[in-house]
Structure 1
């Protein structure tokens, strides 16, 4: 989908001023239930402002920390977590400074800018595009007239020939019309679709120095409609391309096989097996068009998931896959980028599916919307909250079994005093908790992101039942298109009853850190209250129930 990214490329700000965003070592303010030991421990709580418009200029990029993050992917290499994402920045200040710029961190809290893999579009993109156009009987598009977009890379550490490298798959879209080759503008509309996207690959053993070797073409957008690229009056609901070659995710299975999964908005997600050494498809792809779905998918990949089997324009994208404890977990983004963006997850025992959601709904067969909700637009009290929280990276902290969720978060529209506030893109890192699907299935665990962002809060010891007693901000994180879920007051009484947002009884298992709120089990952790002033340590929870069609998020006041 092209229109969903319009905010990334049209924003133009006249003046950008300078201010700092240093972190200070502070003593966390205790909640009224924290122990004396907790308040004695000091650590660094981030103090940078989520509104980074004052330091948005390119010359201030070393002050950005997690500012200007969009569609991130994270991999650990040589002592650092490296993150790369879509070309995007507030005020488009990144333009002219290379593509797929990144950041790196040792602690997942403090990040520094690093350069991306290349400045100019790789020459193979224009060559591949025009070679395909020639075989379709179309005129070549002069290279200087090609409109490129640089979207959504995925980066992984892999071992090739005994050496660890970073391998990146990246997306380059062509924003010209197929028929005429002209730029995608209303005035140039020629009755055809916009051109294809490409996925390429590059590798590095020196990401700190921004030294990458480009390996070229991997795959491209492909169609089951042969050479019939006309819209035929059907507008956007019956796209020409069956697979849209953007948003790659990459995995090495426990058996050592390599796979690429990609797809966005069109017919669903494609699975391609890759050669472990070259990183290229095992099978020959052939022409990126065919006269039937079966002929196309035999070459361009098996469809392993779709939001709706009957729709070619289904508002799901950005697959991200991990393997844990016998399951492949496939995360995905739902809906439009600016506000509604939210995250879902399904799983399978096999890389090629079938994938099921927490209710047993078959995502591979396109049986409808899937649950649980991993993130969704939300708002705690005393803050503007966040929207557009999806297109995530899922990764483990090195040498641990701690899993993390990272995506951009956008501020809501029209915040007073912030020009084009919804174009503020702050990177959000959250811990993942693995929560039971129901009381009767304590070992059927599903991943949910915590409501507050990660700040590396120390382990102060056991979270006790007594520390949970008191008032919380509770959010029923449910699917409301384009709306923020807001917080209500919830009181956990010392006698085991609840009042406010929820009623009934509550209980707590301190060994598992599982809080039962009526029929829903949530996982409790310590995190920083980012909405407090000053920020402080507090308790948070997240969890779901398989028939709830929602997620519980909470933060102790």
Structure 2
């Protein structure tokens, strides 16, 4: 009896030890992960916007982010404003530059139009335009100054004009021409962006196709060109890709002491994508991570510029197509990219997207894979990283809609990706280093930033990463469990 009792006791002790070991090895990381997640501040569920809603097409007040094209952003006090191209799905747009506003960069209210009388007569007389495109806005003294473009699709008899108002919501009084081009020019006077350099001087960056993107000094008092002419060429593409470059926007980041030039490459309705170069001088030269000049038309046209945004889809979601023509918001040191994108199911429906920008340690912008929902960059616990992810490399060559692939980040630092093995490590407050093979089977290292976010595809909180390698190729990831 005593022997039987000792044997049973020994078995019980062994089972307890095995259970403890199992708990420590397999369950403790889960608990640690849950504790790590609990420490994070996730954005709340945003209001869900119905896509492709043809019942609201004739009701501007219900458009929200629908019909936003070529958005220019401006913060006035505690309110954000978007000015955008005349656009309407399934019908003829009303001319006059659309205005929307928001308190949170998430929910957008249609305000009205900048012009009560449509396209200004100066623009009509030169271009014959029936709508206005690609606005940008600044404030000087008591006036808001709106810059707009007038043209017709595919021609460069174009005009950039300026208007002003004491109310940001208008109406705006036209102040006439800033710059115009004719069909004999190799420049196109559209897509104006007004930028102030670190010394307080104002410049206008502009251009679309033809010989590319230019920048000219403005007279700070009048808001018009200090010296009439093309200005300085700062980005171009060669004829093998139809010289497809447009939508320039420059922002300055004082932390890194660089000006960043964002441009859109490709076809508006097909393979639009956003590239970036940077410079110590506002008028260039702008170069990418490889040191390639954004004006280089002799190299492979797909290799120039850091690609930070392109068409994508996570899992079985329809995703977004042809995102581009952005503006940049610097909101007290927090940066956001504001752009249009086309529905993954129907490319004829453009919507406003706002995304947070994070920065690599050496000062390159990296765009969040998810639309903004109020997320904040914060310290991340390493224990939350292991798990199942969906990830994609934003190939510079493939500018179609890229689909995610499954990625597993293991607790031991191993990465399972695209039928190969890689590795990961966590450094700093939210820096993830991933070593994997790219689509050409070459080993690449990506520096990524991790941030709590909202999973718009699965409608729940999650964490995401956005990263870049030394060649300016971006990687995106989203945890799914």
Q: Structure 1 length as normaliser, TM-score?
A: 0.73
- 1:543 equivalent to 2:473? Answer no
- Please point out which of 361, 367, 371 is paired with 2:305: 371
CA contact (8 A) 1:341 1:376 kept: yes
Instruction: Flag structure 2 segments of 5+ consecutive residues without an equivalent.
Output: 1-30, 436-444
Structure 1 or 2: more strand by fraction: 2
Partner secondary structure for residue 115 of structure 1: strand
Q: 1:383 and 2:314 equivalent?
A: no
Match of residue 507 from structure 1: 425
Q: State the alpha-carbon separation in 1 of the partners of residues 272 and 199 from structure 2.
A: 34
The separation in 2 between residues aligned to 1:303 and 1:37, in whole angstroms, is 48
Contact 1:55 1:63 in 2 (8 A): no
- 1:202 equivalent among 158, 163, 177: 163
Name the larger-Rg structure.
2
Cα distance, 1:445 vs structure 2:
1.7
Residue in structure 1 matched with residue 174 of structure 2 by the alignment = 214
Structure-2 separation of matches of 1:431 and 1:371:
20
Q: 1:422 aligns with which of 347, 371, 378?
A: 347
Return the alpha-carbon distance in structure 2 between the equivalents of residues 217 and 173 of structure 1.
13
Task: Give yes or no for contact 2:308–2:474 (8 Å, CA) kept in 1.
Answer: yes
- Aligned Cα root-mean-square deviation (Å): 2.5
Other structure's SS at 2:90 match: helix
Residues 87 and 254 of structure 1, relative CA distance in 2, 3 Å threshold: same
Q: Residue 115 and residue 520 in structure 1: after superposition, are their counterparts in 2 closer, same or farther (change >3 A)?
A: same
* Conserved? CA contact 2:156–2:188, under 8 Å: no
Aligned to 1:352: 283
Note closer, same or farther for the CA distance 1:382–1:403 as it changes in structure 2 (3 Å cut).
Answer: same
Q: Distance in 2 between matches of 1:307 and 1:40?
A: 43
Residue 337 (structure 2) pairs with residue 405 (structure 1):
yes
CA distance in 2, matches of 1:493, 1:517: 12
Question: Is this contact kept in 2: 1:376–1:479, CA < 8 A?
Answer: no
The secondary structure found in structure 2 opposite 1:390 is strand
Is the Cα contact below 8 Å between 1:77 and 1:166 reproduced in 2? no
The answer to whether the Cα contact below 8 Å between 1:267 and 1:313 also exists between their aligned partners in 2 is no
CA gap of 1:450–1:458, structure 2 versus 1, over 3 A, is closer
- By how many angstroms is 1:214 displaced? 1.6
State the secondary structure of the residue aligned to 1:149.
coil
Match of 2:234 among 289, 299, 304: 304
CA contact (8 A) 2:129 2:150 kept: no
TM superposition shift of 1:54: 3.7
How do residues 277-292 of structure 1 correspond to structure 2 at under 5 angstroms? 277-283=221-227, 285=228
Residues 361 and 367 in structure 1, CA contact (< 8 A), matched pair in contact too: no
Of 475, 478, 481, which aligns to 1:555? 478
Q: What secondary structure, in the 3-state scheme, does the structure 1 residue paired with 2:145 have?
A: strand
After TM superposition, give the deviation of residue 477 of structure 1 in Å.
1.1
Confirm or deny: 8 A CA contact 1:243 1:266 kept in the other structure: yes
Q: CA deviation at 1:323?
A: 0.9
Match of 2:123, SS state, is: helix
- Cα displacement (A) at 1:43: 6.0
SS of equivalent to 2:371 = coil
Post-superposition shift, 1:312?
Answer: 9.9
Q: Distance in 1 between matches of 2:321 and 2:410?
A: 32
8 Å CA contact 1:73–1:155 kept in 2: the answer is yes
Q: Secondary structure at the match of 1:125?
A: helix
User: Quick check: 2:57–2:63 contact (8 Å CA) kept in 1?
Assistant: no
What are structure 1's unaligned runs of at least 5 residues?
1-30, 130-145, 176-192, 223-228, 230-239, 286-298, 416-420, 437-443
Residue 159 of structure 1 is matched in structure 2 by 140
2:131 to 149, 154, 161: 149
Q: 1:462 aligns with which of 363, 371, 379?
A: 379
Cα distance in 1 for partners of 2:111, 2:388 equals 43
Partners of 1:503 and 1:202 in 2: CA distance: 57
Query: Does the Cα contact within 8 Å between 1:305 and 1:366 map onto a contact in 2?
Result: no
Question: Is the CA contact (8 Å cut-off) linking 1:80 and 1:104 kept in structure 2?
Answer: yes
